């Protein structure tokens, strides 16, 4: 904290220098398109549904090495441009899309859609979307993250290393309310949630979690859930990995055991140590500025900023290291640290123009600390060199700033 206070003092002293720096600007990272021509859309269209400025060109990109849609017209994971993110909400148009195993985006007429709760309940229930909307609802800010969101040495930008996580305000009916209405039988212990598309997104979820904080959502960031996020209904399972967040939700079966489904193929690991470290996302953070592919114009003051999140609840603390992990100092939480939500942090930094490595690590409300790759390698008894983290990868991401101001993935 002390260092941050003196950092702020220096910040004020350097006011004049800052004005000069701003003119230098920061080169945009990859994933940016050239500025399109003026008035690409009819003015009536823009009045009906607004667009961003044509000078703002940040876009999603497919997972490195893939194209989306692919040769078969199928969508693959596309990544959020975290390097351009501000605050904690991901605009719906930039939310990552985790359409796994190559499903088409279903085109569902909400008037035709039905959602059913059945299995070990006293009163099986079927809802239309309109009927669900008549029930009491809540809005909560939660992140989603795909288990495939693991940094590797070939990734250049933060979009490539961490772009399979996004955060939105989700609106819907608490699943507990619906389950209580259906009357869950005593012997029940799991639910299976199923989506409506051809390769069904089905997952087994503990009943305790279903009764705790899951939401059957029809709203995303103040409007209907987007088709790529599961229109007209999607399940939000706060803090659990992406595969549990069933899109196009059409059925929840209450059962008395874990059901193996298509989702489990290649997903559940035989090693209990690995499996224990999946399901609930561990504490994780990443610096979004400065990050790989960006260019600092010169030495002087910068505000290091990034995102932290955890499936274990709220982020309690974020620390930043500017010397390759030798020393760590507390960053400031910007805004509110919501439970199971992206949390923005900031850290005053004066760059002396020498090569250095920037890292962040977070601690959640359970007191769990984000590990380094070296710690994970030791835990699994694997060589650190070319480590592919088993299960969920929540390791510390190092960015190397070269003396010319260029920023690189320090894993490469």
Ligand X SMILES: Nc1nc2c(c(=O)[nH]1)N[C@H]1C(S)=C(S)[C@@H](COP(=O)(O)O)O[C@H]1N2
Site residues, ligand X (CB under 6 A): 95-100, 103, 144, 146, 195, 197, 201, 228-229, 242-243, 245-248
Task: Please state, in angstroms and rounded to a whole number, the distance separating the CA atoms of residues 100 and 307.
Answer: 25
Pick the closest to residue 292 from 150, 167, 402, 218 (CA basis).
402
Residue keyed to tokens 């229109």: 231
Q: Which does 303 bind (CB under 5 to 8 A by kind): ligand X, Mo ion, none?
A: none
Task: Please state, in angstroms and rounded to a whole number, the distance separating the CA atoms of residues 30 and 155.
Answer: 12
Task: Please state, in angstroms and rounded to a whole number, the distance separating the CA atoms of residues 135 and 407.
Answer: 50
DSSP characters for 120-131? Answer: SBSS-EEE-HHH
Reduce the DSSP state of residue 342 to 3 states and report it: coil
Task: Please state, in angstroms and rounded to a whole number, the distance separating the CA atoms of residues 259 and 267.
Answer: 14
Q: Which does 94 bind (CB under 5 to 8 A by kind): Mo ion, ligand X, none?
A: none
Nearer to ligand X by C-beta: 243 or 331? 243
Q: Which does 97 bind (CB under 5 to 8 A by kind): ligand X, Mo ion, none?
A: ligand X
Which tokens sit at 332? 């400031």
230 binds Mo ion (CB under 5 A): no
Q: Which does 399 bind (CB under 5 to 8 A by kind): Mo ion, ligand X, none?
A: none
98 binds Mo ion (CB under 5 A): yes
Q: Which does 172 bind (CB under 5 to 8 A by kind): ligand X, Mo ion, none?
A: none
Task: Please state, in angstroms and rounded to a whole number, the distance separating the CA atoms of residues 138 and 144.
Answer: 18
- Which span sits near Mo ion by CB under 5 A: 18-26, 92-100, 106-114, 278-286? 92-100
Among 81, 230, 242, 371, binds Mo ion (CB under 5 A): 242
- Which span sits near Mo ion by CB under 5 A: 122-130, 144-152, 343-351, 385-393? 144-152
Q: How far is the CB of 64 from Mo ion (least distance, A)?
A: 16
Task: Please state, in angstroms and rounded to a whole number, the distance separating the CA atoms of residues 189 and 314.
Answer: 27
Pick the closest to residue 233 from 114, 123, 341 (CA basis).
114
Q: How far is the CB of 23 from ligand X (least distance, A)?
A: 38
Q: How far is the CB of 246 from ligand X (least distance, A)?
A: 5
The answer to whether residues 244 and 147 touch, using CB atoms and an 8 Å cutoff, is: no
Q: How far is the CB of 163 from Mo ion (least distance, A)?
A: 12
Nearer to Mo ion by C-beta: 98 or 405? 98
End-to-end Cα separation, the chain, in angstroms? 32
Q: How far is the CB of 78 from ligand X (least distance, A)?
A: 9
**Where along the sequence are the contacts to Mo ion (CB under 5 A)?**
98, 146, 242-243
């Amino acid at each position: 904290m002390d260092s941050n206070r003196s950092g702020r003092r220096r910040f004020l002293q350097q006011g004049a220098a800052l004005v000069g720096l701003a003119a230098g600007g920061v080169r945009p990272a990859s994933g940016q398109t050239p500025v399109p021509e003026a008035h690409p859309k009819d003015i009536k269209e823009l009045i009906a549904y607004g667009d961003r400025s044509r000078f703002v060109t940040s876009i999603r990109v497919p997972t490195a090495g893939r194209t989306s849609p692919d040769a078969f017209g199928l969508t693959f994971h596309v990544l959020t441009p975290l390097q351009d993110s501000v605050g904690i909400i991901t605009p719906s148009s930039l939310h990552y899309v985790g359409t796994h195993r190559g499903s088409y985006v279903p085109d569902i007429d909400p008037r035709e859609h039905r959602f059913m709760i059945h299995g070990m309940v006293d009163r099986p229930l079927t809802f239309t979307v309109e009927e669900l909307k008549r029930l009491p609802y809540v809005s909560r800010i939660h992140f989603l993250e795909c288990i495939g969101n693991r940094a590797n040495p070939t990734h250049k930008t933060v979009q490539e290393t961490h772009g399979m996580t996004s955060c939105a305000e989700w609106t819907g009916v608490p699943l507990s309310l619906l389950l209580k209405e259906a009357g869950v039988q005593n012997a029940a212990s799991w639910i299976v949630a199923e989506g409506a598309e051809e390769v069904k997104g089905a997952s087994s979820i503990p009943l305790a979690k279903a009764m705790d904080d899951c939401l059957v959502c029809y709203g995303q960031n103040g409007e209907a859930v987007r088709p790529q996020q599961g229109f007209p209904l999607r399940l939000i399972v706060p803090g659990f990995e992406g595969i549990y967040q069933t899109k196009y939700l059409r059925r929840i079966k209450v059962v008395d055991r874990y059901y193996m489904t298509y989702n489990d193929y290649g997903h559940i690991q035989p090693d209990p140590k690995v499996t224990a470290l999946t399901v609930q996302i561990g504490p994780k953070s990443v610096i979004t500025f400065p990050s790989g592919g960006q260019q600092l114009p010169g030495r002087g003051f910068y505000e290091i900023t990034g995102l932290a999140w955890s499936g274990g609840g709220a982020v309690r603390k974020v620390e930043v290291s500017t010397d390759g992990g030798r020393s760590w100092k507390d960053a400031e939480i910007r805004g509110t640290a919501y439970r199971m939500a992206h949390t923005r942090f900031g850290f005053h930094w004066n760059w002396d123009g020498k090569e250095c490595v920037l890292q962040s690590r977070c601690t959640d409300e359970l007191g769990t600390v984000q590990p380094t790759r070296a710690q994970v390698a030791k835990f699994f008894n694997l060589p650190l060199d070319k480590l592919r983290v088993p299960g969920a990868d929540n390791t510390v991401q190092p960015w190397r700033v070269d003396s010319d101001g260029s920023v690189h993935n320090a894993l490469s």
